């Protein structure tokens, strides 16, 4: 976080220089208005579109596109795709930003020599639209690289040695905004548009809560106080007083603050509202002891936790109680949150997945706003004192959830808590509480021991985050690596050599399935591989990825199976130990690895449902640099996903057969891994992705992409339609993603507007 802040500060200093030098490289515009066959269009479904021909109009270049339209209705999910001369439409969408009044769309699109047209999808909902103007403006690539290069030189003059890729990460968003003019895609704008509750909504909530029985409070807010700046303490208290839900109590424990002003304020507060209860501790006992003192005052059915310099959204308690009333078995509720400046300006959000136990063991993503049934907290003995300070909320969360079922843990995908980035807060610099990581390791190791898991905890490379190493059963489970192949000697040899040369795991075999290799060099290599640890079987039917793997499984008796593409290359020696350690856990289904393109960009970091133009599935963080951390460090930490790619997937033989293997009848090529993972979920298993098993994936070397010819493309469409028919709404609500994040890109950026259940 500190490094990120440094980078942002440096870019802020350089921005006037960057802006001044960008203008000469934005070239003349090319109108696409003549390419429109009419001005008015009726968009009835998400697949309806407007074709914009660019043949003969544009040279290969990066372009800024602007579309001006008239519509009386809100537009949702506007994006572009490209069409090549052989009429194949790209499966990569270009997201378009939209103005507040929905009158203009902006974005950038790369035009290559083979692109014939742009396909404009204005909305995913029915709408009538009239195009007033449409043009492209070329952005000189040399100019962009010149800006990046000069920025790099300036950074070196500051004594900071960064790569051009890092500079691009920091400046790209700003350059986009400059090109787009008045568009503001910052989080502060998003929050104002979609998340900030209006006065009308708050008034309606207050009216609906008037009939609530107030004989005892529904929820007690626990607030330990110590040497808080008075202005921030008042804001925290005011955020409770201003709640649209009124049946609360505020329990404050002052931990022997030395400030007379704080004591005076709290005494006045104590007598101003009967819902406020305050205890003054005689000696400082740190945050756990102070929190327990506040808990001793609580009478509410539930207790929520608020830091003394943070704020609740005015609708926070209303939203929490709505969820509790709809789900009477609820034991714990948590919400999304954001980080605000000392003056209260929204800085950035933390949009969380639904309950994700592996992620919760990696980092305290629950954090704020957390609400727990009071009886459960009391049964647990409240916060543990001595050795857990700095991770006391993490420790309480682990103890509170470890005996709960997922339906007893409810996630509210709304910003209900504002975490203030004050000078001594861990939100900006975890070194402000350097003891937090050590306390977190202690809490997590206790959790592992209580659950009798055969594992050990170690710190992650991310501050206040952790890695759990699951020990392997002894003797080691037998493992078969299944590698389908066809010709391409160089690719296969690279894969096999990396497996045999780098794999630390001992009890494994390599099973290569030859699907019609006819190149002499490749055939000679396959014959040379006949050895105890490597087997080669021939599969003479037409290429069917699902059938090939099912055939391989029928020819092995190993306890663990690893589906492995022939265009992969092992990076770390303990990759198989990591995969098998998770795969043999009783509750785990499929296990996926972290895969990289040859350019050290992420190819796979888990699979998200409902992503991309087809709204079936897409890889998380695809195309991001391998060192990108992502929100809440999601590219660096073990966690559950709905699915993982079959390019490198581990699963026990028993579970593979339990769900019938891969679907070779309906999903010969595409989406068979996603379908397989969803079948495992149906059986109650959790699919896990780990960043600690790393491989390169050169992707589709042997067989090519499905969009390479019309036959493959038609098959892809059939398999896509099957997935939509088979899984339906399951594809629109991924519990490991968040409806506030876009489905057009895999970079966890904001959705404009947010998606809600049932909206595709």
pLDDT of residue 161: 46
Residues in the chain: 760
**Beta bridge partner(s), residue 228:** none
Element (H, E) at 172: helix 164-180
Q: For residue 574, which of 482, 472, 480, 474 has the smallest C-alpha distance?
A: 472
pLDDT of residue 72: 58
| Residue 96 vs residue 449, higher pLDDT | 449
pLDDT of residue 21: 47
pLDDT of residue 395: 97
pLDDT of residue 680: 98
| Residue 591 vs residue 699, higher pLDDT | 591
Query: At residue 180, does pLDDT exceed 50?
Result: no
* Of 111-115, 309-313, 374-378, 577-581, the least confident: 111-115
Phi, psi of 27 (to 5 degrees): -95, -175
User: How many Å apart are CA 362 and CA 641, to the nearest integer?
Assistant: 14
| Residue 760 vs residue 116, higher pLDDT | 116
pLDDT of residue 29: 61
Element (H, E) at 410: strand 409-420
pLDDT of residue 287: 94
pLDDT tens string 342-373: 889 999 899 999 999 999 999 999 999 999 99
In sequence order, the 6+-apart residues with CB closer than 8 A to the CB of 415 are: 191, 195, 313, 335, 336, 337, 338, 349
**Whole-number percent of the chain with pLDDT over 70:** 80
- Residue at token pair 């022997």: 256
User: How many Å apart are CA 713 and CA 81, to the nearest integer?
Assistant: 16
pLDDT of residue 530: 77
pLDDT of residue 101: 66
pLDDT tens string 159-177: 444 444 555 554 554 455 4
pLDDT of residue 438: 92
pLDDT of residue 26: 45
In sequence order, the 6+-apart residues with CB closer than 8 A to the CB of 617 are: 607, 608, 609, 610, 611, 643, 671, 674, 723, 731
- Please state, rounded to an integer, the average pLDDT across all residues of the chain: 85
User: How many Å apart are CA 745 and CA 731, to the nearest integer?
Assistant: 16
Span 561-585, average pLDDT: 97
Assess contact for 448 and 457: CB atoms under 8 A: yes
The helix/strand/coil state of 190 is helix
Peptide bond into 753 cis (omega under 30): yes
pLDDT of residue 197: 92
pTM of the model: 0.78
pLDDT of residue 142: 44
Assess contact for 82 and 89: CB atoms under 8 A: yes
b (16+ CB within 10 A) / e for 434-445: eebbebbbbbbb
Assess contact for 603 and 569: CB atoms under 8 A: no
Dihedral angle of Cα 732, 734, 737, 741, to the nearest 10 degrees: 10
pLDDT of residue 172: 53
User: How many Å apart are CA 165 and CA 624, to the nearest integer?
Assistant: 10
Residue 248 token pair: 């609360």
pLDDT tens string 291-341: 999 999 999 999 999 999 999 999 999 999 999 999 999 999 999 999 999
| Residue 528 vs residue 137, higher pLDDT | 528
User: How many Å apart are CA 412 and CA 739, to the nearest integer?
Assistant: 10
* Of 18-32, 193-207, 347-361, 460-474, the least confident: 18-32
Span 576-593, average pLDDT: 98
- Residue at token pair 């195309």: 623
Query: At residue 543, does pLDDT exceed 90?
Result: yes
């Amino acid at each position: 976080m500190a490094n990120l802040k440094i980078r942002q500060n440096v870019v802020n200093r350089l921005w006037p220089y960057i802006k001044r030098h960008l203008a000469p490289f934005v070239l003349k515009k090319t109108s696409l208005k003549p390419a429109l066959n009419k001005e008015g269009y009726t968009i009835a479904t998400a697949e309806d579109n407007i074709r914009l021909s660019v043949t003969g109009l544009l040279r290969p270049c990066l372009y800024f596109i602007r579309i001006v339209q008239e519509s009386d209705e809100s537009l949702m999910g506007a994006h572009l795709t490209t069409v090549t001369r052989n009429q194949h439409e790209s499966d990569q969408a270009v997201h378009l930003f939209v103005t507040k009044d929905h009158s203009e769309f902006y974005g950038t699109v790369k035009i290559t020599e083979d692109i014939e047209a742009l396909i404009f999808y204005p909305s995913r909902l029915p709408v009538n639209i009239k195009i007033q103007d449409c043009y492209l403006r070329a952005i000189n690539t040399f100019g962009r690289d010149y800006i990046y290069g000069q920025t790099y030189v300036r950074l070196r003059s500051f004594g900071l040695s960064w790569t051009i890729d890092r500079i691009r990460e920091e400046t790209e968003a700003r350059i986009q905004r400059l090109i787009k003019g008045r568009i503001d895609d910052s989080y502060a704008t998003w929050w104002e548009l979609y998340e900030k509750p209006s006065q009308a909504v708050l008034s309606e909530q207050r009216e609906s809560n008037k009939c609530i029985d107030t004989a005892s409070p529904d929820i007690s807010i626990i607030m330990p106080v110590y040497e808080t700046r008075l202005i921030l303490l008042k804001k925290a208290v005011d955020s409770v007083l201003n709640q649209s839900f009124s049946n609360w109590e505020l329990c404050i424990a002052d931990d022997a603050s030395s400030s007379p002003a704080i004591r005076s304020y709290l005494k006045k507060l104590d007598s101003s509202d009967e819902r406020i209860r305050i205890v003054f501790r005689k000696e400082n006992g740190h945050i756990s002891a102070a929190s327990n003192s506040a808990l001793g005052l609580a009478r509410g059915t539930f207790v929520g936790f608020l830091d003394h310099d943070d704020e609740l959204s005015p609708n926070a308690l209303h939203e929490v109680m709505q969820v509790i009333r709809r789900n009477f078995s609820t034991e714990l509720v948590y919400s999304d949150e954001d980080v605000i400046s000392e003056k209260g300006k929204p800085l950035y959000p933390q949009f969380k997945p639904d309950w994700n136990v592996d992620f919760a063991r990696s980092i305290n993503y629950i954090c704020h706003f957390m609400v727990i049934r009071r009886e459960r907290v009391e049964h647990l003995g409240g916060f543990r004192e001595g050795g857990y300070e700095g991770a006391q909320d993490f420790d309480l969360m682990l103890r509170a959830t470890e005996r709960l079922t997922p339906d007893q843990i409810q996630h509210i995908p709304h910003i209900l808590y504002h975490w203030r980035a004050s000078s001594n807060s861990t939100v900006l610099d975890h070194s402000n509480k350097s003891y937090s990581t050590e306390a977190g390791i202690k809490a997590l190791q206790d959790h592992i021991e209580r659950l009798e898991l055969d594992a050990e905890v170690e710190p992650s490379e991310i501050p206040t985050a952790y890695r759990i190493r699951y020990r392997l059963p002894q003797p080691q489970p037998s493992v078969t690596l299944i590698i389908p192949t066809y010709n391409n000697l160089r690719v296969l040899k690279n894969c096999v050599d990396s497996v045999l040369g780098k794999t630390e795991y001992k009890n494994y075999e390599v099973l290569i399935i030859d699907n019609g290799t006819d190149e002499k060099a490749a055939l000679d290599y396959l014959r040379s591989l006949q050895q105890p640890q490597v087997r080669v079987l021939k599969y003479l039917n037409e290429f069917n990825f699902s059938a090939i793997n099912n055939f391989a499984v029928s020819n092995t008796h190993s306890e663990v199976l690893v589906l492995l593409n022939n265009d992969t290359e092992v990076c770390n020696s303990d990759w198989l130990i990591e995969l098998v350690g998770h795969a043999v856990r009783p509750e785990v289904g499929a296990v996926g690895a972290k895969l990289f393109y040859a350019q050290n960009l992420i190819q796979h970091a888990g699979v998200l449902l409902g992503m991309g133009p087809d709204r079936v599935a897409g890889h998380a963080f695809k195309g991001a640099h391998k060192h990108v951390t992502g929100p809440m460090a999601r590219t660096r930490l073990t966690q559950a996903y709905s699915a993982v790619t079959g390019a490198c997937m581990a699963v026990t033989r028993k579970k593979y057969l339990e769900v019938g293997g891969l679907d070779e009848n309906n999903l010969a090529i595409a989406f068979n891994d996603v379908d397989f993972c969803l079948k495992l979920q149906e059986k109650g298993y959790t699919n896990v992705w780990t960043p600690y098993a790393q491989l390169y994936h050169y992707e589709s070397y042997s067989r090519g992409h499905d969009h390479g010819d019309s036959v493959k493309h038609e098959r892809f469409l059939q398999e896509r339609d099957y997935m939509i028919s088979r899984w339906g709404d399951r594809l629109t609500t991924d519990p490991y993603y968040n409806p506030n994040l876009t489905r057009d890109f895999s970079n966890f950026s904001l959705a404009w507007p947010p998606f809600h259940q049932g909206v595709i």
